[in-house]
Every structure is written in structure tokens, then in C-alpha cells.
Amino acid sequence: MKNQSLRVLMVEDSEDDELLLIRELKKGGYNSVYERVTSAAAMRKALKEKEWDIILCDYMLPRFNAPSAIYILKEANLDIPLIVVTGTVGEETAIECMRFGANDYIMKPNLSRLCPAISRALDEAEIKNKHKQAEELLNASEVRYRRLFESAKDGILILDCDTGTIIDVNPFLIDLLGYSREQFIEKAVWELGPFKDIIPNRNKFLELQRQEYIRYDNLPLETIDGRLVNVEFVSNVYEEADTKVIQCNIRDITKRKEALKALQESEKKYRELSIIDDLTQLYNSRHFYAQLKIETERSNRYEQPLTLLLMDIDKFKEFNDTYGHIEGDNVLSQFGKLLKGCLRETDSAYRYGGEEFTIILPMTTIEDGTIMAERIQAALREKAFSPVSGQKIYITASIGIAQYKPQEEMKAFVRRVDQLMYQAKKKRKHSLYAAA
């Protein structure tokens, strides 16, 4: 078990719930230093006076609520993860808090999700911080390059405008490309290897004469030892002592490219973390609603069928109570893999919440969706779990399935499938319950 210190700010009016949260944190391996506040003024004071790793916020307090707490956090301009921990609101309200800026929500009857949610929120905060640092480095790099340009520390090449012969080169470009001054001077620019792709022959040079300006924002130049250097290349024609010359300014942007690449990779990883459920590696409910909105709009625009499956693992609480949360998490993880194995290329699967999962089936009628649901049930019948050595356990799932009705409101569509799933569960069929 990890033994990690954690600075926790609790926005909570119940001392009993405070003790429950601290107990759950300790169970998850966190040594908590915490403070409990019950008002907006107290929260502002705590944010100003101390540093916090995480904020655990009840949805409703006397004269104060979670949206107000999120606003105060934004007002303070602090990047502290905030998780709504509540037992008094519905899931739609909790999801709305996430749209305001909360990182996650936990229902108090299901505090086993608390520590995994905190771990995920802290990881996301770290990635976001690295992203911010990379962006600051990139901005600093841009300032640095502008200063170098203003002080003539870029590569500079001067050409005779009539012949294209190199008549001068500065030390920076000599160091950058590795050629000696003698190798530059008196050569036609197209005779020197690094510029073969910019001005490869005299005809191209004559074109430069006519245009009097060429710019490349990202160009690889080859050094004398074969390395590639990314540069900005700008050339202008101007008069010098009644003679036209061409000045080529060459700026090394290799570090900027590396910083940009690191920033892009960081952004990609952050985007992936924000839409992927850590345990099952399926998309999360936040991404589900975004994707379903796209698919319902596409269905209405092109009059294509769209089918939705919503499923719930049967008697999952009993399994958890019997075999423990670690084995329960294993079931959820394996169930996610099983769903992925049943998908077609156009389908997408999501962890909707707890032990509930959903699959979006674009361009699919309810008949074909039923085949998909039966495929999942067949795969479940073949999938054995062994929470105890030598024992095989088979789980079942209740599935609701419905086809989208033209112009149907998205939430009404989800609610309809949800009701069908619970009808299946009430009838104890442990299979699928389908309706058009």
C-alpha cells in the first residue's frame, strides 16, 4: 500500500462525513493533512493561506454549494483538482458540476471510488502542470530567438544580386553549418550543399531576383557532417552602395521544434487522460455524451439508424462484498476488455459509471444491435473469473437496447435505454431487453 502525504481542503458541513472521508483516504494509503470549511469566506481564506493538493467538496451546504466553490477556485486562479463528494444529488447534477470545472464526482454511498478518483485527478494535474511549463518554456524560447535576431546572432549570408555569388557570411552560420569561411566565399549559392533545396540552380536564383523576397518557416539544412538543422530562411533584395545584394537571414529553430513537439505530445496525453477511464481503458461518461451528441446530429442529418446499448453487471455489489474490491476492479477491467473485443470498427464503448457500461452503434438498426448484445452475452458465458483459487465464477449483465428516434432529445434517448435496462434487471432475465 502506498504511503503518500496529501493536503486536503474539505468543503463539508458534516463532521460524520468528514471522518468517513478521512477513514477512506487512510484506507487508500494517504496520510492526510486536512482542513474543513463550511462557507465561501472560509474557503477563500484557506486557499489564500495554505497550499492544497486536492479539494473534496459536498454539493450542498447551508448558503453554499459546489458550483460556488468551483467559481471561488477559478477566481483564485489556482489549478487544484476538485472532486464533488455528495449523496444528495442525481448523476446529471454531478455531471453538470464536471462541466463547470470539477474533475470528478463521487457518490457518498460508493466511497470506494474516492482514492482512485483522487489518484487520477492528481495525475491529470501533474500533466497539466508539465503542459503549462512546456508552454512557458516555448514562450521564453520565442522571446530568446527574437532577442538573438535583433542582436544579429542569426546566420547571415550576403549574395551578389547579379551572379548569386556568396560575398559574406557571419560566424554564427559558419558554426551552425560547419563549413569554413573559405568554403562559403566566392561560391555560387547553388554550389553549396546546404542550399541545394532552396536555390538549386541559376534559374531559381533569377526567380529570387524577380520576387526580391523568399521565406521558408520550416526548412531542413544539411550540415557538412550530414546532420539536419531546422531553420527559418528569409531572403530580401536591397541596395548597398548603389549595388543590389541579397541578404539571407537564417535562424536555427531546432530547439523551438523540439519544445513544440514536447508540448504537442503533452497535449495529446492530457487529452487522452481526460476521456479515458483509468480502470477499464474505455472512454468515460464525459466523452460518451460528447460523442453521442455528434452521432445523434449525424443520424438526423443523414437519416441513418443509430442504436445504443446500456448494460449493468448483475449482483456486482454482492460480488464486491464477497470477494473484495480488488477482485471487483478486476471484473470491471476484464469486462472492459471483453466489450472491446466485441466492437466493430465504427462502434465505441464507454464506462458509464460504477458497473454500468454503454456502447454507441452508429449506422446500426435495433436488429443488428440485438446481435451485438447477444454476442456480448455469449462472450460472458465463456468468460470465467477466479477470485478464489480453484473456483470459477461467471458473471451476467442486464442489457437495455433501443434505436434512436428522429429528432429525439439526446437525454430522453439515454433515459429510454436506461429504463429498458432496468426492466431487464427487474425481470431477472440477466440477458437483454430490446425495444424499438
Q: How confident is the model at residue 98 (pLDDT cuts 50, 70, 90)?
A: confident
What is the mean predicted confidence (pLDDT) over 334-343? 95
Query: What is the maximum alpha-carbon separation in the chain?
Result: 96
What is the mean predicted confidence (pLDDT) over 403-417? 95
What is the mean predicted confidence (pLDDT) over 222-245? 81
Query: According to the model, what pLDDT value does residue 142 have?
Result: 58
Q: Give tens-digit pLDDT for 206-230.
A: 777 777 777 778 778 888 888 888 8
Between the alpha carbon of residue 31 and those of residues 9, 117, 285, the distances in Å are: 14, 16, 30
Q: Residue 331 in contact with residue 385, Cβ under 8 Å? A: yes
| pLDDT higher than 60, residue 407 | yes
Q: At what angle do helices 325-342 and 366-382 cross, to 10 degrees?
A: 130
| pLDDT higher than 80, residue 401 | yes
Q: How confident is the model at residue 153 (pLDDT cuts 50, 70, 90)?
A: low
Query: 42-46, 101-105, 347-351: which range is least confident on average?
Result: 101-105
Q: How many Å from the N-terminal Cα to the C-terminal Cα in the chain?
A: 49
Q: What is the DSSP letter of 245?
A: E
| pLDDT higher than 70, residue 369 | yes
Q: Give tens-digit pLDDT for 41-84.
A: 999 999 999 999 999 999 888 888 889 998 999 899 888 999 99
Locate 225 and state its grid cell: 557532417
Q: What is the residue whose three cell numbers read 441513418?
A: 304
**pTM summary value:** 0.44
| pLDDT higher than 90, residue 398 | yes
What is the mean predicted confidence (pLDDT) over 314-340? 93
Q: Residue 76 in contact with residue 48, Cβ under 8 Å? A: yes
Cα dihedral 162, 163, 167, 168 sign: positive
Q: How confident is the model at residue 313 (pLDDT cuts 50, 70, 90)?
A: very high
| pLDDT higher than 70, residue 268 | no
Q: How confident is the model at residue 104 (pLDDT cuts 50, 70, 90)?
A: confident
| pLDDT higher than 90, residue 330 | yes
Of 347, 348, 317, the C-alpha closest to 332 is 317
Q: How confident is the model at residue 241 (pLDDT cuts 50, 70, 90)?
A: low
Query: According to the model, what pLDDT value does residue 415 have?
Result: 95
What is the mean predicted confidence (pLDDT) over 346-371? 95
Query: According to the model, what pLDDT value does residue 10 have?
Result: 93
Question: What domains can you pick out in the chain, each with its CATH number?
Answer: 4-114 (3.40.50.2300), 152-257 (3.30.450.20), 276-435 (3.30.70.270)
Query: 15-19, 93-97, 226-230, 285-289: which range is least confident on average?
Result: 93-97
What is the rounded CA–CA span in Å between residue 415 and residue 41?
39
What is the mean predicted confidence (pLDDT) over 274-288? 90
Give Cα 13 to chain centroid, integer Å: 34
The three-state secondary structure class of 94 is: helix
Cα dihedral 79, 85, 86, 89 sign: positive
Between the alpha carbon of residue 394 and those of residues 334, 374, 386, 426, the distances in Å are: 12, 16, 9, 20
Q: What share of the chain is helix, strand, coil (3-state, %, to 5)?
A: 50, 25, 25
